């Protein structure tokens, strides 16, 4: 459910994966973290921090709790085009 919400909102707001990634990576460190996603979707009560953290860990190839552009693109590339 959390993943579907994120895919839907990002695909309707951004024309490409790169723009969506840059919008979420507000400190420009090359990673999207749970806090970045929560800040971006702050008013959405359907997003639970713990569920989102599990999702990010699942999508993070290095299992450090943050998603680089390659992982982000692999995860959301087909949803955002």
pLDDT tens sequence for the chain (81 residues):
889 989 999 999 999 999 999 999 999 999 999 999 999 987 777 788 999 999 999 999 999 999 999 999 999 999 987
Write down the pLDDT at residue 14.
95
DSSP result, 14-75? -SSHHHHHHHH-TT-SSEEEHHHHHHHTTT-TT--HHHHHHHHHHH-TT-SSEEEHHHHHHH
What does pTM read for this prediction? 0.90
Go through the domains of the chain in sequence order and give each one's CATH number.
2-76 (1.10.238.10)
């Amino acid at each position: 459910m959390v993943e579907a919400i994120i895919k839907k909102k990002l695909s309707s707001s951004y024309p490409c994966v790169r723009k969506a990634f840059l919008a979420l990576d507000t400190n420009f460190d090359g990673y999207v973290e749970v806090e970045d996603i929560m800040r971006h979707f702050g008013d959405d009560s359907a997003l639970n921090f713990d569920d989102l953290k599990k999702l990010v860990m699942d999508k993070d190839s290095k299992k450090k709790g943050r998603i680089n552009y390659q992982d982000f693109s692999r995860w959301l590339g087909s949803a955002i085009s």
